[in-house]
Amino acid sequence: MGALVGTLGVLSALSVAAFAQQVPSASPPDPRQPVVERYEYVLILPDTGKHLYASALARLATPPAVDTVVFDLNDAMHVTEVSFICHDRMETARWVRAPGQVKVVVRERSGDTARLVSSQTSCIRVVYEGEPADGLIIGKDAQGRWQAFGDNFPNRARHWLASMDHPSRKAKVTFRVIAPVDRAVVANGALVEEGLDNRGRRITTWREDRPIPTYGMVIAAGPLTMLDLGRTACGLAEDGGCVPQAVWFANESHRFMPGEFARAGQIVEFFARTIGPYPYEKLGHLQSATRYGGMENPSAIFYFDRGFRRAGGIGDGLIAHETAHQWFGDAVTEREWAHVWLSEGFATFFAALWAQHAHGDTAYTRELADMRAAVLRAPIVATHAVIDSVEADPNKLLNENSYPKGGLVLAMLRDELGDSAFFGGLRRYYAAHRHGNAMTQDLERGLEDASGRPLDWFFDQWLRRPGWAELRTSFTWNRATQRVSLTVGQGARFGAYRLTLPVEVVDASGARRTMRVAVEARASQTIVLPGTFAAAPATVRCAGDHTLLAVCTPE
């Protein structure tokens, strides 16, 4: 999603709260439920209005071991048929409706024994229709033209897609969309079919061959014009080839195109060289009806509509943020919502990294300063840890903990480990969990392996505790030894932190000397500074550091 701070500030904390709604359970499916290998959706879109006809074929990775396979599907969708169909032969299935779910019977029990009701239980098709209450946003654009956009985050796919709607249940997906001929249709993956049916309606099929989270399974349908950005980042795609990129937009926005999307190829190339090959078949950038500043749907990023209606409305920072998600959030997806910082913190940090690459160190420093300022003024950071297992609503996890504090944690790790170990660890982490799921401990393991250092202390204090370091400093000068001793006290509100503190010594003439000292996680300690000082310094204080999440007060 669009970032919360800095030059990416298209989605404020206030707007996140305003958008937060009561959503169905965000709990993961019962682990005994089967794994879906691929969803195949057929969607028939209306000429006008919101009534959708759909079928969802779930191809399971293995025959189910449970008695009942459960799919999430909102009650506004009326189920008309459920069947088993792996090949051409269809067998009617027994099913029941529960609130927000479709339960399909796949085993029958007799005493202590159970048998599969069909040899085709690995292929379950659900046919349904109705007006989606959410998830697929159907309406009119600024010019009064009909359009529809998927907008599934966090668990709103169930409003229009029969699925196991949780990020731990990634799957491949195919969309076959039948729509009026005047509407362009875009979805995840590669375009495999485009033509007309015998009624003159457009048939479009997109196929995604990498497993993706349900919150990123989307279509766009509307009066969109496509601008081809060409084959980019050649040699850096997962298949060794190039990354085709394009922008889809309303025709009246053409005068602002390509704008900053001209940098899209450079952004993908930079991230691919830094992290690993680009993971998907293409990368599309779309003007859309998403409620977020940007939504990182795999291979089909949706951006907010107004950004396309003025020059510079979509900046390269937002493009970089959403593009970074293709690696972190999409290819490597948090297994549990509490670890959503592995998506949003990473995208925030990598957008700052792009700013450093494209605009210089000053731009990177400015991004970090914006993050730090946002963290220090956010009440949520003072009361909740980044890994927040208490909050049950994923919407409310889109806050300053997940975005700027998560981004700063990565910047601090970079400073702590050095570029070689830090980026080496990120590449290990990405390669180990690509097209799967991860937790924070997986990232910790990758960085420990790359650096050869234990990092449990770092992850515990910055991610599993609320707040930041609060330091009080004072100093003394010993005339006999000409040494300066710095006393550092740590506040009790958030506890003591282990950190490397930049210190600035200013002598009587105004000359400055900067050094870094190791501070232990103790309530109070005295540190003898390196070097000697012929006279008592005028001041000894914490040096300005936009990376370190600490407030330092001299006494």
Q: Check residues 221 and 20 and name the one with the higher pLDDT.
A: 221
* 91 and 118 Cβ atoms separated by less than 8 Å: yes
Topology agreement, domain 333-463 and domain 469-554: no
- What's the CA gap between 129 and 78, in Å, rounded? 5
pLDDT for 114 beyond 70? yes
Mean pLDDT of 455-483: 97
What pLDDT, on a 0 to 100 scale, did the predictor assign at position 24?
A: 59
Q: Which fold has domain 469-554?
A: Immunoglobulin-like (2.60.40)
278-290 residue pLDDT tens: 999 999 999 999 9
Strand order across the 483-490 sheet: 524-528, 483-490, 469-478, 550-554
Confidence of residue 16 (pLDDT cuts 50, 70, 90): very low
Q: Which of 430, 373, 371 is nearest to 406 (CA)?
A: 371
What pLDDT, on a 0 to 100 scale, did the predictor assign at position 3?
A: 66
What pLDDT, on a 0 to 100 scale, did the predictor assign at position 135?
A: 98
What pLDDT, on a 0 to 100 scale, did the predictor assign at position 19?
A: 39
Residue indicated by tokens 């930079």 = 270
Beta bridge partners of 311: none
* Boundaries of every domain in the chain: 333-463, 469-554
Q: Which of 232, 250, 230 is nearest to 241 (CA)?
A: 232
21-73 residue pLDDT tens: 444 578 888 999 999 999 999 999 999 999 999 999 999 999 999 999 999 99
What does the angle CA 258 – CA 137 – CA 217 come to, to the nearest 5 degrees? 75
- What's the CA gap between 215 and 207, in Å, rounded? 16
Confidence of residue 1 (pLDDT cuts 50, 70, 90): confident
433-461 residue pLDDT tens: 999 999 999 999 999 999 999 999 999 99
Residue indicated by tokens 């003439």 = 509
Q: What are phi and psi of 537, to 5 degrees?
A: -65, 155
Mean pLDDT of 127-152: 96
pLDDT for 13 beyond 50? no
What pLDDT, on a 0 to 100 scale, did the predictor assign at position 118?
A: 93
User: In sequence order, what are the residues at sequence separation of 6 or more whose Cβ sits closer than 8 angstroms to the Cβ of residue 479?
Assistant: 536
Confidence of residue 113 (pLDDT cuts 50, 70, 90): confident
Residue indicated by tokens 């159907």 = 138
Q: In this structure, which CATH number among 1.20.1270.360, 1.10.390.10, 3.40.50.620, 3.50.40.10 belongs to the domain 333-463?
A: 1.10.390.10
Q: Which of 327, 90, 350 is nearest to 210 (CA)?
A: 327
243-279 residue pLDDT tens: 999 999 999 999 999 999 999 999 999 999 999 999 9
The proportion of the chain whose per-residue pLDDT surpasses 90, expressed as a percent, equals 91
pLDDT for 339 beyond 70? yes
Average pLDDT, the chain: 94
